[in-house]
Amino acid sequence: MSTAILRATAADLGARIAAGELTSVEVTTAFLDQIERVDGEVNAFLHVDRAWTLAQAEAVDARLATGENLGPLAGVPIAVKDIFCTQGVPTTCGSKILEGWLPPYDATVITRLREAGLVILGKTNMDEFAMGSSTENSAYKITGNPWALDRIPGGSGGGSAAALASFEAPLALGTDTGGSIRQPAAVTASVGVKPTYGGTSRYGVVAMASSLDQPGPCGRTVLDTALLHEVICGHDPMDSTSIDAPVPPVVEAARSGDVRGLRIGVVTELGGEGYAPGVELRFREALAALEAEGAEIVEVSCPHFSYALGAYYLIMPSEVSSNLARFDAMRYGLRVGDDGVNSVEEVMRLTRGAGFGDEVKRRIIIGTYALSSGYYDAYYGSAQKVRTLIARDFDAAFEQVDVLVSPSTPTTAFKRGERTSDPLAMYKADLCTIPSNMAGNASASFPCGLAPEDGLPVGFQVMAPPLADDRLYRVGAALERALDTARGHTLLDELAESPAGAYLNVVEA
Amino acid sequence: MDDLLTYGEALERFDPVLGLEVHVELNTASKMFCGCTNHFGSEPNTNTCPVCLGLPGSLPALNGKAVESAIRLGLALGCSIAPRCRFARKNYFYPDMTKDFQTSQYDEPIAFEGVVEVEVEGQTFRIEIERAHMEEDAGKLVHQGTSGRIHGADYSLVDYNRAGTPLVEIVTKPIRGTGTLAPQVAKAYVDYVRDTVLALGVSDAKMEQGSLRCDANVSLMPKGSDVLGTRTETKNVNSLRSIEAALTYEIRRQGAVLAEGGRVIQETRMWHEEGYTTAGRSKEQAEDYRYFPEPDLVPIVADAEWVERLRATLPEPPAERRRRLQADWGFTDLEFRDVVNGGALDAVADTVAAGCPPQAARKWWTAELARRANEAGVDLAALGVTPTQVARVQALIDEGTLTDSLARKVFDYLLAGESDPDAIVAAHSLAVVSDEGALSAAVDAAIAADPGTAQRVREGKVQAAGALIGAVMKSMRGQADASRVRELVMGRLQP
């Protein structure tokens, strides 16, 4: 029973709860038990409070019992990245500087989850302030990739991706500034979507780089992710950059998966040298599968994508240096050296020295430098010009094709510790994902197979024009259907049933 | 203490150049980027929320009313309005800053290139405005300790009620050619801005509460030179009078420094009401605020149609209004200046509008009522007597129902909380007695009661009649027309 719940899709769980076959408490308990069983090894969660979570499930069951219609995901539990403010519940962003802080308010996305009857299982681990591609920059713990615990689960949303892949949660929330939803999805064989910038409210999401950050849905299937997308997206007056337009028909697209006549452009610049052979192989197979489903595949050049990474590492740290200034020991969070003798500046210096990790400090320093007088034009100014050129590349490409595609990441999950001393190697994990953050268009990663050389998941990235998020789901659903049909099961089922996944204990006895 | 030249000496050798930065706190109902109440004087830290406290995750949402006020103020100062402009972040650390950056405007102010004219001693000065931009105010530090100042404080408390209050900062271009009138021109300009802001109704513009603040920059150029000198920026100037005094002081101080061959240090100076400035933060090393466009706010788009609609709501410019009123009322320059300086312009205008002759309105507001407001220690507007009441009292005088001294008694009752002058006259029997019989009887009684004085009047000592008239007025409890009483007394004693 419990195993069936853990392996079920969110759509299925929601339907069975709505039909009265299951209660939210039963479903939620199954996932809380799984967290208790395996999270000691996976380390996906930073904060779980069983009583708090079960109280939410009971409340949803009570609402459903009155006949209230809460939508298709009512009663389904969800893991939330620790960057979303949750009222009265610890929100650390993986940083020591926010240890013990209890936000007095809920992020808009959290409010929407509650209104739709979703049940928050806990807060998931992440790179400190979402800065990283391996979740190794968390100040609290190192999360393992459920496919191979000594490998990274991606980052910054490694906790959310690992929770999905280890069957600790059927749904999860992430945020994507340069790939923090898509890259973890790629290396764990889950689905991750970065909606169009402005599609999801950022209110209550602790900011890393405001012009790039975008919250989004994560799931184990395309439909589950689309259902969550529909719950969390939509206009919010509390976020000035939120788009006042209807949410694209993502659920319909995920159910249809019809790609007949769809023009798919393969980005020339995102492939070739530096890409693992297994990644290239599975990517090409996926293209063939989509072609077989009726899509038309063409090659498209986006010449300025090659400059995206460099420009990103100027714009992002510039905004980081300003956004993280508020962590000054004055009002909340950590305070070090407040001995009645030290000056305000000294307490601030000691607190930030102790409370921020190396990567955060590195980006604050780079950003402060890039914005300083005399350097602004050369760094921030030039990077903004590159950003405009990247957006123009997308515009030109979308005149020829309906979506663009590439591998989600150049390689599969690397080993823990492998790139921690080489920031540039770490940054390259986001090579393919960054252009969509720079331009603000919609983008997603879908599982497309296991690389033959290491047996680890490969992600297939789809990029769609702004506000055409539904096209992501259309392609994702087609791919899922074609690959799973050919394979006879999903990739995560394969993990669950394999010896490597035995510790997950999600196979019917 | 600083060495000072006399003002005359300083102006003989140097030409002052002014630069004025005026901060206007807008009186919108809510703050600039959140729904919190925008109110001065609430309990500390009660008008706050995650946004104005800058909590992690919070985002600004722009108050459209503040933008409207800024555009109207810009238009009233003769500025052009940017069709599209952005906010920028000004990055610096200070405990009263919740985000450790201030959301302001940098290279794209909402209003720019304005010009206003002020008059001082019959001369007109043209003051060019470089820009008027929008920004948020910071919180407020309250230093605890015996001194009340940051030096010597035991600790400091922060009140974030003010954090996020919408501000418009108006910056002039360098103002040259004012000569000895520089401090007065500065005062007249700030007064002009204050009048404009009040006429627009966009701010309370109370300098003593900080809702209108002025940073006064001044530098000196040797006579005949064209090279700008090093300027200082004087802060903590909390009244119009202080602007004049602080600039006079700085001109004398800088003059003394330069006269001795010294170098003026570029710095902020703090004005002290005792009559001097002291050195504040040095600005020799330009602070790097690392401005960049605010990514959390979309650009403000002010289309021409909206701007024109706002332009149509502008009140008559204060200077034009004054010229019109003085002409309408036929006041001399001196009379009109008394009205303006006494803060009675609106009161007089409203009283005249209620039917009162202008001279009478002027007399009541600048003399009797001004004295009473002064005694009560309140503004004329807060005295509690309305222009309609004043107009009615004057009408009663003109009809012969009241004398000036009876009218003063009516004001006593008005100030005590009664509201209808006619009802006061009736209830307290204040009307002039016009019954000749009663008056004659009182005159006869007074003469009978003081035969000695009566005799002296009969003998030609006309001045002595005053005592008899006084006695009659007293017995009539003031409710008689003194000139009629005089006629009756003299009729009896010097027929």
| pLDDT band (50, 70, 90) for residue B287 | confident
Closest Cα to residue A227, out of A256, A254, A189, A202? A254
Q: Residue B124, SS3?
A: strand
- Residues in B closer than 8 angstroms to A101, CB to CB, are 56
Task: Name the residue range of residue B395's domain.
Answer: 318-427
Predicted pLDDT of residue B122: 82
Q: Which residue of B has its CA nearest to A237?
A: B61
Question: Which of A328, A332, A342, A379 to substitute to test the interface with B, most B CBs within 10 Å?
Answer: A328
Task: Write out the H or E segment, with its range, that includes residue B492.
Answer: helix B482-493
B153 close to B108: Cβ distance less than 8 angstroms: no
Cα A156–chain centre separation: 8
> B388 and B254, same structural domain?
no
Test A239 with B100 for CB contact under 8 angstroms: no
Which residues, in sequence order, are CB contacts of A494 under 8 Å at separation 6+? A450, A487
Higher pLDDT, B384 or A46: A46
> B294 and B345, same structural domain?
no
DSSP codes, B54-92: T-TT------HHHHHHHHHHHHHTT-EE-SEE--EEEE-
| pLDDT band (50, 70, 90) for residue B147 | low
- Residues in A closer than 8 angstroms to B107, CB to CB, are none
> B353 and B447, same structural domain?
no
Over residues B295-326, the pLDDT tens digits come to 999 999 999 999 999 999 999 988 888 889 99
Which residues, in sequence order, are CB contacts of B488 under 8 Å at separation 6+? B439, B440, B443, B472
Question: Which of A322, A349, A365 to substitute to test the interface with B, most B CBs within 10 Å?
Answer: A322
List, as ranges, residues 133-152 from A with C-beta within 8 Å of B.
Answer: none
Buried/exposed B137-154: b ≥16 CB within 10 Å, e otherwise: bbbeeeeeeeeeeeeebe
Cα–Cα dist B477/B481, whole Å: 11
> B373 and B273, same structural domain?
no
Q: Which residue of B has its CA nearest to A319?
A: B295
Test B59 with A203 for CB contact under 8 angstroms: yes
- Residues in B closer than 8 angstroms to A240, CB to CB, are 59-62, 296-298
Q: What amino acid is encoded at A187 in this protein?
A: V
CA angle A10, A15, A17 (to 5 degrees): 95
CA distance A372 to chain B (A): 5
Q: Residue B301, SS3?
A: strand
Q: Name the residue among B50, B89, B91 with its Cβ closest to that of A104.
A: B50
What would the two tokens of residue B381 be?
Answer: 């507007």
Phi/psi region, residue B288 (left: phi>0; alpha: psi -120 to 50; beta: rest), is beta
Q: Could you say which of A95, A133, A138, A156 is catalytic?
A: A156
Return phi, psi of residue B132, to 5°: -130, 115
CA distance B71 to chain A (A): 20
Which residues, in sequence order, are CB contacts of B345 under 8 Å at separation 6+? B322, B325, B339
**Is A141 labeled as catalytic in the residue annotation?**
no
Cα–Cα dist A195/A251, whole Å: 14
- Residues in A closer than 8 angstroms to B101, CB to CB, are 322, 325
**Is A428 labeled as catalytic in the residue annotation?**
no
Beta strand B88-91 with B101-104: parallel, antiparallel or unpaired?
antiparallel
Over residues B436-483, the pLDDT tens digits come to 788 888 888 888 888 888 888 888 888 888 888 888 888 888 788 888
Question: Which of B396, B427, B458 is at the close of a domain?
Answer: B427
The full length of chain B comes to 495
Closest Cα to residue A345, out of B154, B94, B354, B472? B94
| pLDDT band (50, 70, 90) for residue B146 | low
Predicted pLDDT of residue A331: 92
Cα B451–chain centre separation: 58
User: Is A87 part of the contact surface with chain B (CB cutoff 8 Å)?
Assistant: no
Cα–Cα dist B322/B326, whole Å: 6
CA distance B409 to chain A (A): 58
Beta strand A263-267 with A403-407: parallel, antiparallel or unpaired?
parallel
> B65 and B28, same structural domain?
yes
CA distance A281 to chain B (A): 40
Q: Which DSSP letter does residue B179 get?
A: G
Q: Which residue of B has its CA nearest to A105?
A: B50
Predicted pLDDT of residue B145: 75
Over residues A369-412, the pLDDT tens digits come to 999 999 999 999 999 999 999 999 999 999 999 999 999 999 99
Q: Which residue of A has its CA nearest to B35?
A: A238
Tell me: pLDDT of A1 over 60.
no
Q: Which residue has the tokens 């459209």?
A: B64
With respect to residue B262, please indicate whether it lies within any of the assigned structural domains.
yes
Question: Which of A213, A240, A387 to substitute to test the interface with B, most B CBs within 10 Å?
Answer: A240
| pLDDT band (50, 70, 90) for residue B151 | low
Strand intervals (E) in B283-405? 292-293, 300-301
> B486 and B404, same structural domain?
no
Q: Name the residue among B57, B60, B101 with its Cβ closest to that of A107.
A: B57
Q: Name the residue among B55, B59, B288 with its Cβ closest to that of A240.
A: B59
Sign, CA dihedral A477-A480-A485-A489, equals negative
With respect to residue B71, please indicate whether it lies within any of the assigned structural domains.
yes
Q: Could you say which of A24, A81, A95, A166 is catalytic?
A: A81
Q: Which residue of A has its CA nearest to B101?
A: A322
With respect to residue B162, please indicate whether it lies within any of the assigned structural domains.
yes
Options 3.40.440.10, 3.90.1300.10, 3.20.20.150, 1.10.3720.10; CATH of A2-307+385-504: 3.90.1300.10
Size of interface A-B (CB pairs under 8 A): 97
Question: Which of B402, B427, B452 is at the close of a domain?
Answer: B427
A173 close to A80: Cβ distance less than 8 angstroms: yes
Cα–Cα dist A287/A296, whole Å: 9
Over residues A153-207, the pLDDT tens digits come to 999 999 999 999 999 999 999 999 999 999 999 999 999 999 999 999 999 999 9
Q: Which residue of A has its CA nearest to B96?
A: A330
With respect to residue B2, please indicate whether it lies within any of the assigned structural domains.
no
Test A331 with B56 for CB contact under 8 angstroms: no
Q: Which DSSP letter does residue B165 get?
A: -
A336 close to A389: Cβ distance less than 8 angstroms: no
- Residues in B closer than 8 angstroms to A202, CB to CB, are 59
Q: Which residue has the tokens 């990247």?
A: A390
- Residues in A closer than 8 angstroms to B297, CB to CB, are 240-241
Q: Where are the alpha helices (DSSP H) in B356-450?
A: 358-363, 369-376, 387-399, 404-415, 421-427, 436-449
Q: Which residue has the tokens 């050919």?
A: A486
> B407 and B260, same structural domain?
no
**Is A156 labeled as catalytic in the residue annotation?**
yes
Predicted pLDDT of residue B284: 64
Over residues A258-298, the pLDDT tens digits come to 999 999 999 999 999 999 999 999 999 999 999 999 999 99
Question: Which of B100, B107, B143, B158 to substitute to test the interface with A, most A CBs within 10 Å?
Answer: B100
Number of Cβ within 10 Å of residue B28's Cβ equals: 19
The ipTM value here is 0.96
Give me the mean pLDDT over the B108-131 stretch: 94
Number of Cβ within 10 Å of residue B96's Cβ equals: 17
Cα–Cα dist B62/B67, whole Å: 8
Which residues, in sequence order, are CB contacts of A12 under 8 Å at separation 6+? none
Q: Which residue of A has its CA nearest to B95?
A: A330
With respect to residue B342, please indicate whether it lies within any of the assigned structural domains.
yes
> B480 and B375, same structural domain?
no
Cα–Cα dist B12/B89, whole Å: 44
Closest Cα to residue A189, out of A152, A226, A161? A161
Over residues A60-85, the pLDDT tens digits come to 999 999 999 999 999 999 999 999 99
Q: Which residue has the tokens 């002296």?
A: B456
Cα–Cα dist A432/A308, whole Å: 9
Return mean pLDDT, chain B. Answer: 92
Which residues, in sequence order, are CB contacts of B290 under 8 Å at separation 6+? A321, A322, A368, A371, A372, A373, A376, B89, B91
Structural domain count of chain B: 3
> B464 and B337, same structural domain?
no
Domain residue spans in chain A? Answer: 2-307+385-504
Give me the mean pLDDT over the B322-350 stretch: 91
User: Is A93 part of the contact surface with chain B (CB cutoff 8 Å)?
Assistant: yes
List, as ranges, residues 227-256 from A with C-beta within 8 Å of B.
Answer: 237-241
For residues B47, B50, B55 and B61, what is the CA-based torsion angle, rounded to 10 degrees? Answer: -110
User: Is A389 part of the contact surface with chain B (CB cutoff 8 Å)?
Assistant: no
Burial of B461 (0-12, 13-18, 19+ CB in 10 A): exposed
> What are the Cα distances from residue A160, in Å, to A55, A135, A181, A187, B320?
22, 10, 9, 12, 67
> B343 and B289, same structural domain?
no
Q: Name the residue among B56, B93, B295 with its Cβ closest to that of A85.
A: B56
CA distance B177 to chain A (A): 34
Test A371 with B290 for CB contact under 8 angstroms: yes
* CATH code where residue B462 lies: 1.10.10
Question: Which of B375, B394, B427 is at the close of a domain?
Answer: B427
Test B57 with A206 for CB contact under 8 angstroms: yes
Round the CA-based radius of gyration of chain A to a whole number and report it: 21
Task: Write out the H or E segment, with its range, that includes residue B157.
Answer: strand B155-159
B82 close to B149: Cβ distance less than 8 angstroms: no
CA distance B33 to chain A (A): 10
Predicted pLDDT of residue A509: 64
> B343 and B275, same structural domain?
no
| pLDDT band (50, 70, 90) for residue B396 | very high
User: Is A344 part of the contact surface with chain B (CB cutoff 8 Å)?
Assistant: yes
Test A103 with B295 for CB contact under 8 angstroms: no
Tell me: pLDDT of A447 over 90.
yes
CA atoms within 13 A on the CB side of B89: 28
Cα–Cα dist A456/A278, whole Å: 9
What would the two tokens of residue A6 be?
Answer: 């853990």
With respect to residue B1, please indicate whether it lies within any of the assigned structural domains.
no
Cα–Cα dist B71/B311, whole Å: 9
Q: What amino acid is encoded at B234 in this protein?
A: T
Give me the mean pLDDT over the B431-435 stretch: 78
Test A105 with B93 for CB contact under 8 angstroms: no
Q: Which residue of B has its CA nearest to A318?
A: B292
User: Is A368 part of the contact surface with chain B (CB cutoff 8 Å)?
Assistant: yes
Burial of B479 (0-12, 13-18, 19+ CB in 10 A): buried
Strand intervals (E) in B447-491? none
